[in-house]
Amino acid sequence: MVTKLKQTVVVLLVLLLALPSYVGANTQPIKIIVDGVPISSDQAPIIVDGRTLVPVRAIFEALDAKVSYVSATKQVIGTRDNTTVILTLGSNRAIVNNEVKILDVPAQTVNGRTLVPVRFVSEALGDDVKYNASRREVVITRKYSSNVTVKDVNNFGDGRDIEVSFNKAQNEALVDHYRIMMVKTSKANSFTLSNANQTSSNYYTYVAKEGKNIKRTLNSYTMDTDGAYIQSGVSYTAFILTVGRNGSVNTLERSSNSVTLNTSRTLPQITNLSVNDVSDYGDARDIEVDFTRLSDESYLLEYRAIIVRANEANSFNLTSAMELPSSNYTVIPRRGTNIKETLQFQTRDHQGRFIETNTAYRVFILAVGSPGSGYGSSLSRQSNEIRLSTNPEEIRVTGVEVRDAGDYGDGRDLEVSFSIPRNESRVSEYRIMVVPTNEAGNFNISRANNLTSNQYTVVGKTGFNIRTTLPSYASDVNGRQIESNRSYRVFVFSYGGAANSYYNSLSYSSNTVTLTENFQAIPVTNLQVSDVSNFSDGRDLQVSFNRVSDETMIQEYRIMVVKAAQANAFTLAIANNVSSNNYTYVAKTGSNITRTLSSTSTDAYGDLIREGVDYKVFVLSVSAGGNTANALSSASQTIRLTNNTVVDTVSNVVAEDIANAGDGSDMQVKFNKLPNESTLQEYRIMVVKTDQANSFNLIAANNVHSNNYTRVTKTGSNITQRLASTTRDIHGNLIRPSEPYKVFVLAVSNVSGDRNTLSQPSSEIILSNPGVDVATGITVFDIGNNGNGQDIEVNFLKAANETPISYYTVLVVRSHETANFTLDQANAVPVANYTRVDKTGSNLKITLPSTARDVRGNLITNGVAYNIFILSVADGTNATKNSLSAPSSSITLANN
């Protein structure tokens, strides 16, 4: 992995900048800026003969170069990468990689500082130098090489097409792992180490150290750093983040070449695209998109509606569409039916701008290919042009709330609050319009425009959000005086002035309020229900709602669950009479409420809550003034509890060779725990021979015999598991050295086997071939006067573990050859030139035969100095690598 400090030679930046001859007339100092960072002012350059000289140490360090000074020769030597620059003080000759170069001005010492010419040095090192005369800045841009390359190696149109290659770090002892990050080329220049460190684990590919340079093909579900799946038609650049260990910092490798994927198949364009202006909000809610779905959606991930200004539509293409951030388009899921979709308020155009009135737009639909399908995305033709006519949202008030604030029996009981719009300068006044609840669904801006002054209450602008109580004479929109025991909703009408071309805007309706004289409660709002677990009872149902704005009249809340078929008939009167066994009590907290029901929770009619039934939820606000003042919320959306406990998939499976026992205990497996282990029973580590890994799938994993995997219990933390010596692969074969394997992890559901998930395989691992133990304690004695091998007695201690040893051989080596005698030479000694010794389970003593020879085939004889080695011979099953002992002391036979 290339790092910023390469021991390559980069000699100081002789950036001799050819400055204009009049430069000396300007008293403003010159700045040297390297990769956007200025050299400190105390290292300021000077001008000599119209050329810029800089302190040698400052410029070298700024350019990541090493610098030294040889006083005997008065030479400055700078090195970086593959370049060496040598400058001699006072000489106009320089040497760049053994080639002589002529300087306009020499390196020299001025006021005790050694200075070198900027332009010459930097250009000698391959860097770019520019001079900004107006700002008197020398701007140096360093050039780096990258060892990261990407290739398009397949034709799927997804991550499987991308092969990334890069060099391992020079010192991998400081490396924990690598991360491959695919960045849209349009964003590559601004991608930094900070960006890389903050990239989510879902958006990069984890690569374990392999002890060699890396080549990795990505998978079909690989995402780029924006969280978008890799797609054809988009240009990508790869970055490698090297993650340090033991306190070492992370480093980001220079970017690779760019690559744009191709695919032989693309989705058809969607047809019959049209857009309509369907509302009058003055934003994207006015836009309805209508198109015919693809006839075959099995290869489709999703549709994306993209709004483009009409004057920019002709230059908008598939590449532009594919590179948009998610904030600049609207996702439309496939539905199996033709699409008619009204966009949302927050929708922006393809450049990220809010949708505006009086601006012409066209809409495109991007059909996005599903990862792994092999289909590329397609972009529709542009729609018809649409121009929104008004912009009421700019002056629309929000957050309209009402409450019963008194007991006068008229408008003084009605307190209205709301937030002012984002552009109040275009508002002349606000008009509060009180609408009977049964008419609120049909109340619109057209009717609001036609009300007379006695049918609303005017509120002036204050510059702040407004809270006001209506006057006693206030009337509803029908001119009828506001009174108790009638149900109302409130709208606020923003009356536009000349600055807004007199456009008006109508708010959304408030909550419902009924004025009473006995502490009338207010219904809760924003009632939401969620299926949060898989217990198949009330514990699966979570209810949340916003408390009422003023809880002074509230005694408690009651959550009531009603079968959806009965919900339309569920009224306040029925709610008031529900038994306490059949609702969930919730005390006031002063905050909004989120409550998960209990296992014994029932619906409002006493039936236990269970999965597979459609429910709606109501919340009863219980008044301190008695049942007649209680308030019932609107029904929630329909919810059906389901048990869909498919566990998450294990990620970052890494297998490591950590020992040399020659069995499964050499293998250590690491992986990340599941984000949610609540539905997990256990993990199962499965070892698969590499040639079988591509066909190994979830079905096969579920059927692996329990003898052939390693069970791991969940701990709440990431897992590191060393396998046992008896570990077998999925087919029951013992784990052996020299056999290539990949490791999978099966996450086992605590519900049923059909909800298990299987990880991606680890990188290939081949366990090293261990050597057997060596014999020790070798002693030799001269015991006879035969002048041959019978004179030599050899004693040695057996190997510590003889199980993987077949037998020993006694090797006689002439002493002058002992220092260079190796295991490879010992393994090559022919049978005739050694003496075999069978293991006995005890230490051994042997007298050599008269025919014994040295390892070169010479008979043992008097007067020659010998050393004895013992070779432990592996049995080929438990181990396959022999081991050679240390030599004995020297022995020379003599006639005694």
Q: Which sequence spans correspond to the domains of the chain?
A: 9-141, 149-260, 265-390, 393-513, 525-640, 651-766, 776-892
Residue 572: how many other CB atoms lie within 10 Å: 15
Give the span between the Cα atoms of 421 and 474, in whole angstroms. 24
- Which amino acid would we find at residue 531? D
CATH of 776-892, one of 2.60.40.10, 3.40.640.10, 3.90.230.10, 3.40.50.300: 2.60.40.10
Give the span between the Cα atoms of 106 and 627, in whole angstroms. 99
Residue 335: how many other CB atoms lie within 10 Å: 11
For the domain spanning 9-141, the CATH number is: 3.30.457.10
Residue with structure tokens 């260079």? 820
What's the fold here for domain 149-260?
A: Immunoglobulin-like (2.60.40)
Give the span between the Cα atoms of 583 and 157, in whole angstroms. 54
Tokens of 48: 């000599």
C-alpha distances (whole Å) from 754 to each of 688, 694, 749 are: 21, 21, 8
CATH of 651-766, one of 1.25.40.10, 3.40.50.150, 2.160.20.60, 2.60.40.10: 2.60.40.10
Give the span between the Cα atoms of 252 and 144, in whole angstroms. 13
Name residue 13's beta-bridge partners. Answer: none
- The architecture (CATH level 2) of 525-640 comes to Sandwich (2.60)
Is 265-390 the same fold as 9-141?
Answer: no
Q: Which helix (H) or strand (E) holds 186?
A: helix 185-188
Whether the full predicted model's pTM is greater than 0.85, yes or no, is: no
Tokens of 779: 């002693």
CATH class (in words) of the domain with range 393-513: mainly beta
CA-closest candidate to residue 874, choices 811, 775, 794, 808: 808
CA-closest candidate to residue 335, choices 294, 307, 370, 364: 294
Average pLDDT, consecutive stretches of 10 residues, N- to C-terminus, the chain (896 residues): 33 33 45 66 59 73 76 83 80 82 82 78 74 74 69 87 89 88 88 90 92 91 90 88 82 82 87 87 82 92 95 91 89 90 88 84 94 86 85 77 82 92 84 95 86 94 93 93 90 77 81 76 91 84 92 90 94 94 95 94 94 93 78 94 77 91 89 89 96 92 95 95 94 90 93 82 88 92 93 95 92 95 93 95 95 95 95 85 93 86
What's the fold here for domain 265-390?
A: Immunoglobulin-like (2.60.40)
